[in-house]
């Protein structure tokens, strides 16, 4: 049976990571081939083909019966011109579909299986439904360490890999990463300039927030552009020894980037996926040495020393097999680091530490020096134990501040940072007493309701931390928001439960 | 901050079960509130509100900056008129989100939790990603029998329930169901007219195919309308004692209908979801007595007698708690039933049995008589053991044929059934020998590639079954397709592995 020719039409609809095709209900192909809404289809033009999900259109205003509409990303990916002839077929399932089904059924996947799955994800051949199924089927402890190794390997293989060959003059390419879970923990923006100033290459790529009120990329974006193409990123690191970029756009681990888009709405962040996500991006960025920060605390991502040790061993297993030198550091995750939570407020804390502001949060300073010290000791010329002293000198001399400014200029300085959200509410202490506990998850949730990280100025400013004395009615923290509805949501949640436990009085 | 008023616009895009809203990238609300592609939003107009996923549009042809576009279903659900003022907010997570996350993490859910989840699903407050996560997190043996009971109860509570009060004159309202997995198994289209002719009320609702080449609704649709509103369905059953309708449109279990849309592309069909799906629809349809057919065979859904017994016990537990009289019948699931696989070919088999055609498949006839007999024995006036004899009389007298014709007329007779797909390929036996095994799953897959059930005429016509002798080169079965590409896919798959094992020669 011959099918009529269809003309492609760019519809200018942003459906983000899912390719969507549109056909009119009266299109002869819809009737002849039995296409339905949400059918998976393959669309081809000029030797190029893409997978897409079909939407059926009843409105002749949008599309004529002999046109095939494409969402913005699908159109870009197909690479055809408006009006070009296209063909459409029922899609065969993606090559890894059998492996996906076996994983859903609880089976162990081999190296080939995981490479096939990741290749399909990176090529955007999975629907959102299939992505969600993979994410749920591989969460918690559903991946063993060999599977995590193969998932990591596959994620590296699916992306670009930066090569610093020669640039380091044989010196290590260093990086740091925190597994997250502790709000306000913006040490990277201090550690990268210190280490870069010492002379090591530190091409740091970070993700945006997955389930937290701000990721390093969100906070850095207050000051500078973070979406850098790989070539640009390389030039910057050659010029100033370091960068603070967003990994996704840098095309280093496209599969991971697709997966995060599904993990985020589900608030899933499971060990195997986390290890593969972190290590694949670090290795793809060309790092040879990594310091990994695992905060431990009752409301951090890792609740106990025992769980931290278990996670540490899998990280070390995968890193060792892939030739990455890894130092895991367990840190105090019982409360937020610094005072600000949210992009603008965290950027303020970082600048206070760099500028020796008397208001600067000392816990953020101490933690940054500790981590930078461990990275500096990756330098073979540095004696074991000297790292922290060197880091402190670089910070106190103002050289770290100058280096961060140089990195910001190199990435592209943005206009003056916006002020914290103008709509505020101070959350009062319910009684006299001492701060005995702070719930990181609840604080992150309240900060999220205030609008962070989408609204850079939104978030929380903490006035007291563990061990501080407070009097009844004194503010524990201030909520900043940019929109009245957001302030209302965050305020209601904070008044219901502030996330602070005060001893010597009722919480 | 005051937001500008937006005017709603009906976009006529069929996104099926997912509500999609469209805003122009230059819409002031997009910028002010930090909306992104795929943000979850709540849209309100005139006291009504819906949840939707946001797509951002760059094309002024589609949408002006102060318009808010809605997909067809979202528009219908909101119930506003084109041009009405609407408001849009970031959506709070659906009320059951915490329960969903706990289930994903492997916890057991309570009655309230499952009612909240199902209420959210039925109200279409879950995204496809959330639906997929729920389906995967509750599959295999992840639901215990109490959870299955609560899920079933919640699915009934979320839909309409038909009430036959008085119509049966105190007689049982009977139904039958097969859990599926065996192609060609169209006994319902024989059993319903036999039982209706005996005088019992049999309001049968079936799903369309989930992972198979045809469901009863798909096959019945070859002859009659199957999408019947509940009131219509009631009138039909009053008039002719029985019906063969599609459960989804009858609004009996809307949550199940939403879930099936996700289970289908993932090819997931797990015990707990299956039990809740089947029993919720039967009870919502007002059935008091049910015969359940569980085929057992190496390539059926249930592989062993032990697994069938385990499944039977959970079915019985839930049915007993919900006041449904249940008879479970284990049947031979080692090969397809009848000859045809696919809607048109299966309808042909059914009509051959009703018309005493010499070609009529005897296995289909025998199985239908067995199941109808068990149902007829639900009639308190029938002696135990007499059911099969009564069923045989009704079939042989031609009364079952007349009754099916009456049901078809009542539901709305369609034009003459289409012929089997005109493009054919005969799959040859590789050697002389005897048919020693038939792989149901593989045959279903080949039938699916041929275009069934979307293309009603597509599918397979089996010439030999278990125990039959064949000679090398003789056809095992014929592939029917309506589109050349489909024939090609199915033929390639069949030549790779025909799904038939022949002893006395290589397969």
* Claim to verify: residue B199 and residue B67 sit in the same structural domain: no
Size (chain B), residues = 507
Residue of A4, A14, A31, A107 to mutate when probing chain B, most B C-beta within 10 A: A14
A62 and B131: CB-CB below 8 Å?
no
Active-site position among A120, A269, A349, A363: A269
In a domain, B265, yes or no: no
Tokens of B120: 């959210």
- β-partners of residue A29 are none
Look up tokens 């089927």; give the residue.
Answer: A137
Q: How far is CA A149 from the centre of its chain?
A: 20
A366 touches chain B (CB under 8 A): no
Q: Do B455 and A267 touch (CB under 8 A)?
A: no
Q: Are residues A200 and A299 in the same domain?
A: yes
Name the 3-class secondary structure at A90. Answer: strand
Same domain, B392 and B493: no
CATH number of the domain bearing residue A396: 3.40.1030.10
Torsion of CA A281, A285, A289, A292, to 10 degrees: -30
Identify each DSSP E strand in B153-236 by its residue range: 174-178, 202-206
* pLDDT at residue number A167: 58
User: CA-CA distance, B396 to B388, in Å (whole number)?
Assistant: 12
Angle, helix A254-266 to helix B128-137, in steps of 10 degrees: 80
Q: Is residue B253 very low, low, confident or very high in pLDDT (cuts 50, 70, 90)?
A: confident
SS3 A31: helix
Q: Each residue of B448-485: pLDDT tens digit?
A: 999 898 889 999 999 999 999 999 999 999 999 998 98
The answer for residues whose C-beta is within 8 angstroms of residue A295's C-beta and 6 or more apart is A178, A179, A181, A182, A185, A301, A302, A330, A331, A332, A333
What percent of chain B is predicted at pLDDT more than 70? 94
Q: How far apart are CA A468 and CA A475, in angstroms?
A: 12
- A412: closest CA among A190, A226, A244, A251? A226
pLDDT for the residue B507: 43
Q: For residues B76 and B207, state if they share a domain.
A: no
Q: Is the pLDDT of residue B191 over 90?
A: yes
Tokens linked to B455: 């293309």
Q: Is B412 exposed, middle or buried (0-12, 13-18, 19+ CB in 10 A)?
A: middle
Does A399 contact chain B (CB < 8 Å)?
A: no
The sign of the CA dihedral A266, A268, A272, A278 is positive
Give residue B210's pLDDT. 61
**Do A44 and A103 sit in the same domain of this protein?**
no
Tokens 């003056």 -> residue? A416
CATH classification at residue B453 = 3.90.1170.30
- A79 and A106 belong to one structural domain: no
Q: Whole-angstrom Cα distance, residue A300 to residue A330? A: 12
Report pLDDT for A249: 54
Total domain count, chain B: 4
Query: Domain check: are A461 and A444 in the same one?
Result: yes
Q: Euclidean distance between the first and final Cα of chain B, in Å?
A: 74
Q: How many alpha carbons fall within 13 Å on the CB side of residue A74?
A: 30
Kindly identify which residue of chain B lies nearest to residue A30, measuring between CA atoms.
B454
Question: Chain centroid to CA A318: how far?
Answer: 20
Mean pLDDT of B172-198: 93
In degrees and rounded to multiples of 5, residue A421 shows phi and psi of -45, 130
- Say whether both A380 and A441 belong to one domain: no
Give the residue from A244, A256, A249, A201 showing the smallest Cα distance to A229.
A249
* pLDDT (0 to 100) of residue A1: 39
Same domain, B42 and B110: no
Q: Is the pLDDT of residue B222 over 50?
A: yes
Q: Does residue B162 form part of some domain?
A: no
Better pLDDT: B209 or B87: B87
H or E element: which one contains A410?
helix A399-411
Mean pLDDT for chain B overall: 89
Cβ distance B137 to A136 less than 8 Å, yes or no, reads: yes
Q: What is the DSSP letter of B154?
A: H
**B453 prior amide bond cis, ω within 30:** yes
pLDDT in tens, B281-332: 889 888 999 999 999 999 999 999 999 999 999 999 999 999 999 999 999 9
| B446 part of a folded domain | yes
Is B255 part of any domain? no
Claim to verify: residue A43 and residue A148 sit in the same structural domain: no
**CA distances for A416 relative to A222, A344, A413, B294, angstroms:** 9, 11, 9, 69
Q: Is B469 found in the same domain as B370?
A: no
Please give the structure tokens belonging to residue B65. 């900056």
What 3-state DSSP class applies to B135? helix
| Domain presence at residue A17 | yes
DSSP letters spanning B279-298: HHHHHHTT-SEEEEEEEEST
3-class SS at B21? Answer: strand
Provide the 3-class DSSP secondary structure of residue A133.
helix
A310: CB partners within 8 A, 6+ apart: none
* B113, B175, B269, B293: the active-site residue: B269
Contact B415/A at CB under 8 A = no
Taking only residues 454 to 483 of chain B, the set having a beta carbon closer than 8 angstroms to any beta carbon of chain A reads 454-455, 482-483
Chain A residues in contact with B268 (beta carbon < 8 A): 104, 133
Give the separation between CA A358 and CA A336, rounded to whole angstroms. Answer: 19
Query: Does B429 map to a domain?
Result: yes
Let me know: does B198 contact B305? Beta carbons within 8 Å: no
The predicted structure's pLDDT at residue B457: 95
Query: Taking residues B248-264, what's their average pLDDT?
Result: 76
Active-site residue flag, B269:
yes
Would you say residue A24 lies in a domain? Answer: yes
- B127–chain A Cβ distance below 8 A for any pair: yes
| Largest CA-CA distance found in chain A, in angstroms, rounded | 82
Of A14, A130, A131, Cβ closest to residue B55? A14
How far away is chain B from the Cα of A76, in angstroms, using its nearest Cα?
14
Residues 25-44 of B with CB under 8 A from A: 25, 32-34, 36-38, 40
| Residue B279 lies inside a defined structural domain of this protein | no
Q: Where are the alpha helices (DSSP H) in A208-323?
A: 216-220, 230-240, 254-266, 271-284, 305-321
Interface of B with A in 61-120 (CB under 8 A): 61-62, 71-72, 89-90, 92, 101, 104-106
In A, which residues are within 8 Å of B136 by CB distance? 104, 132-133, 136-137
> DSSP 3-state helix, strand, coil percentages of chain B (rounded to 5)?
40, 20, 40
Closest CA to B368 of B331, B334, B402: B331
- Ramachandran region, residue A110 (left: φ > 0; alpha: ψ -120 to 50; beta: rest): beta
Q: Spell out which residues of chain B touch residue A421, defining contact as CB-CB under 8 Å.
A: none
Here the tokens at position A106 are 């609880």
CATH classification at residue B130: 1.20.970.10
Last residue in a domain, options B42, B57, B90 = B90
Domain boundary among B41, B59, B90: B90
CB contacts < 8 Å between A and B, how many? 153
DSSP of B1-28: -----EEEEE--EE-TTS-EEEEETT-H
Per-residue confidence in pLDDT tens, chain A, 507 aa: 345 688 998 888 887 667 889 888 888 777 666 676 667 888 999 888 888 888 888 877 778 888 999 988 889 889 889 899 998 887 878 889 999 999 988 899 999 999 999 999 988 888 888 999 999 999 876 799 999 999 999 999 998 887 776 655 667 899 999 998 899 889 999 999 999 999 999 988 877 776 677 888 889 999 999 988 878 888 999 999 999 988 665 577 788 878 887 887 787 778 899 999 999 988 988 899 999 999 999 999 999 999 999 999 999 999 999 999 999 999 999 999 999 999 999 999 999 999 999 999 999 999 999 999 999 999 999 998 999 999 999 999 999 999 999 999 999 999 888 999 999 999 999 999 999 999 999 999 999 999 898 889 999 999 999 999 999 999 999 999 998 988 998 999 999 999 999 998 444
Position A124 scores a pLDDT of 81
The confidence score (pLDDT) of residue A2 equals 46
The domain that contains A59 carries what CATH number?
A: 2.40.40.20
If asked whether residues B133 and B215 sit together in one domain, one would say: no
Indicate the DSSP class of residue A504: T
ipTM over cut 0.95 = no
Asked if B62's CB is within 8 angstroms of A105's CB, the reply is no
Which of A1, A17, A37, A60 to substitute to test the interface with B, most B CBs within 10 Å?
A37
Dig out the tokens for B284 from the structure.
């919502």
Range of the domain at A69: 6-90
Instruction: Write out chain A residues lying below 8 Å of B98, CB-based.
Output: none
CB-based contact (8 Å) between B496 and chain A? Answer: no
Q: Is the pLDDT of residue B202 over 60?
A: yes
Lowest mean pLDDT among A116-120, A181-185, B123-127, B405-409: B123-127
Shortest distance between the Cα of B141 and any Cα of chain A, in A, equals 10
């Amino acid at each position: 049976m011959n099918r009529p020719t269809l003309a492609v039409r760019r519809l200018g609809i942003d459906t983000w990571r899912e390719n969507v095709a549109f056909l009119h209900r009266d299109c002869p192909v819809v009737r002849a081939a039995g296409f339905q809404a949400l059918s998976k289809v393959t669309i081809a033009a000029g030797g190029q083909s893409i997978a897409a999900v079909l939407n059926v259109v009843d409105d002749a205003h949008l599309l004529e019966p002999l046109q095939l509409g494409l969402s913005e990303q699908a159109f870009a990916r197909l690479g055809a011109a408006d009006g070009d002839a296209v063909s459409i077929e029922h899609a065969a399932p993606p090559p890894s579909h059998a492996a996906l089904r076996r994983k859903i059924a609880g089976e162990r996947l081999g190296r080939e299986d995981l490479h096939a799955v990741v290749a399909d994800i990176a090529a955007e051949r999975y629907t959102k439904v299939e992505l969600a199924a993979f994410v749920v089927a591989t969460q918690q402890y559903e991946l063993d360490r060999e599977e995590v190794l193969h998932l990591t390997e596959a994620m590296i293989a699916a992306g670009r890999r930066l090569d610093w060959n020669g640039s380091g003059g044989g010196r290590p390419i260093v990086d740091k990463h925190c597994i997250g879970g502790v709000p306000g923990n913006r040490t990277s923006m201090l550690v990268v300039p210190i280490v870069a100033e010492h002379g090591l290459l530190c091409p740091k790529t970070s993700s945006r927030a997955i389930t937290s009120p701000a990721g390093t990329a969100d906070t850095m974006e207050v000051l500078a552009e973070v979406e850098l193409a790989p070539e640009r990123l390389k030039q910057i690191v050659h010029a100033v020894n370091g960068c603070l970029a967003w990994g996704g756009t840098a095309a280093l681990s496209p599969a991971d980037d697709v997966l995060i888009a599904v993990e985020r709405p589900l608030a899933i962040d499971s060990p195997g996926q986390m290890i593969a996500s972190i290590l694949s991006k670090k290795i793809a960025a060309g790092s040879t040495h990594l310091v990994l920060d695992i905060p431990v605390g009752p409301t951090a991502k890792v609740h106990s020393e025992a769980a931290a040790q278990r996670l540490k061993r899998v990280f070390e297993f995968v890193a060792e097999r892939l030739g990455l030198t890894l130092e895991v550091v367990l840190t105090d995750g019982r409360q937020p680091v610094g005072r600000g939570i949210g992009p603008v407020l965290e950027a303020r804390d970082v600048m206070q530490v760099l500028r020796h502001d008397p208001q600067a949060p000392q816990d953020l300073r101490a933690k940054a020096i500790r981590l930078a010290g461990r990275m500096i000791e990756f330098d073979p010329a540095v004696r074991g134990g000297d790292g922290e002293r060197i880091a402190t000198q670089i910070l106190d001399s103002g050289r770290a501040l100058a280096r961060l400014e140089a990195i910001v200029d190199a990435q592209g300085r943005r206009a003056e940072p916006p002020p914290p959200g103008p709509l505020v509410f101070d959350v009062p202490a319910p009684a006299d007493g001492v701060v005995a506990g702070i719930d990181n998850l609840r604080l992150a949730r309240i900060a999220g309701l205030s609008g962070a990280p989408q609204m850079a100025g939104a978030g929380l400013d903490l006035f007291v931390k563990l061990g501080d004395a407070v009097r009844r009615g004194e503010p524990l923290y201030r909520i900043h928001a940019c929109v009245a509805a957001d302030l209302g949501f965050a305020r209601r949640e904070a008044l219901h439960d502030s996330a602070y436990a005060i001893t010597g009085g009722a919480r």
